[in-house]
Amino acid sequence: MLELDIHEVPQTIRTLLWDAVWRETRYASIGVSFRHLMDVVRRAAVDLSLERVNAQELSEEGREYWLLGVGKWMDNKVASNNVREQIQRHLDMVDLGLPDDVFKHLNQQLKLLVFRVDVERVSALGTRVLTQKQRDEVWGMMEKEIRPGPDQMFCQTVRKILEEVLDSYSEIPSRNAKQASMAILKLLDERFGWDGNWKEGISDNPQLIVESIHKGIRMGFKLVIEALLEPEEGICGS
């Protein structure tokens, strides 16, 4: 809205609002990273166990116990909080302030998006608000843009780790689902806990996340303008 010059706002306020866009999206990237990691863990657990069943290296019952155990670990609050906190601490490497080069690019892109809007419709951008459905759609698309960064930073060794855990689980005889779940929970905690080997494979390159946040905000600007111009029809093809 500020870039439309519909409202006269001091430069200090403009700067604060730009910083807020960056800071809030950066904070949201913690949750995005955690959710993506859990999705990768789930997919790896499913794919690896299916491969073992097809190779007759794991029984159908063993696979059922395995997937149940992995699910129990993912739903365990203590385990989840430990993983989330590790992600949050690691992302402290990403500056809270909006990088100058990112600001310049976002600012230029936003101006281009605004300039492409018909003059007759520009005023609508300053008078309409997003519906909750539109907000959810915008954020859903932004999250898709952000996810590649967390994938590169946190998930490159996940399949290998799950394969190690599945190997260990296969060597432990389990009489029932409860016993199997407890064994799997322990095995995953050992890998993804504070002293686990998952941390060894995490990238120390902050640009992976910086670029993803950049792309997410860029997508957000585009979709917000589309939503404000067509608020009743929704966006993203819905």
Residue 237 has pLDDT above 70, yes or no: no
Highest mean pLDDT among 10-14, 178-182, 204-208 belongs to 204-208
pTM: 0.89
Residue 174: is its pLDDT beyond 70? yes
**What is the band of 120 on the pLDDT scale with cuts at 50, 70, 90?**
low
Q: 58-72, 118-132, 173-187 — which is least confidently predicted?
A: 118-132
* Whether the predicted pLDDT of 190 surpasses 80: yes
Give the pLDDT confidence score for residue 238 in this predicted structure: 46
Please, which pLDDT band fits residue 7 given cuts at 50, 70 and 90?
A: low
Q: What is the pLDDT of residue 191?
A: 97
- The mean predicted confidence, pLDDT, of the chain is 90
Least confident of 19-28, 82-91, 173-182: 173-182
pLDDT value, residue 229: 82
Per-residue pLDDT for 231 more than 60? no
Task: Kindly report, residue by residue over 72-112, the tens digit of the pLDDT.
Answer: 999 999 999 999 999 999 999 999 999 999 999 999 998 88
Res. 234 pLDDT band, cuts 50 70 90: very low
Beta-carbon contacts of residue 182 (< 8 Å; ≥ 6 apart): 69
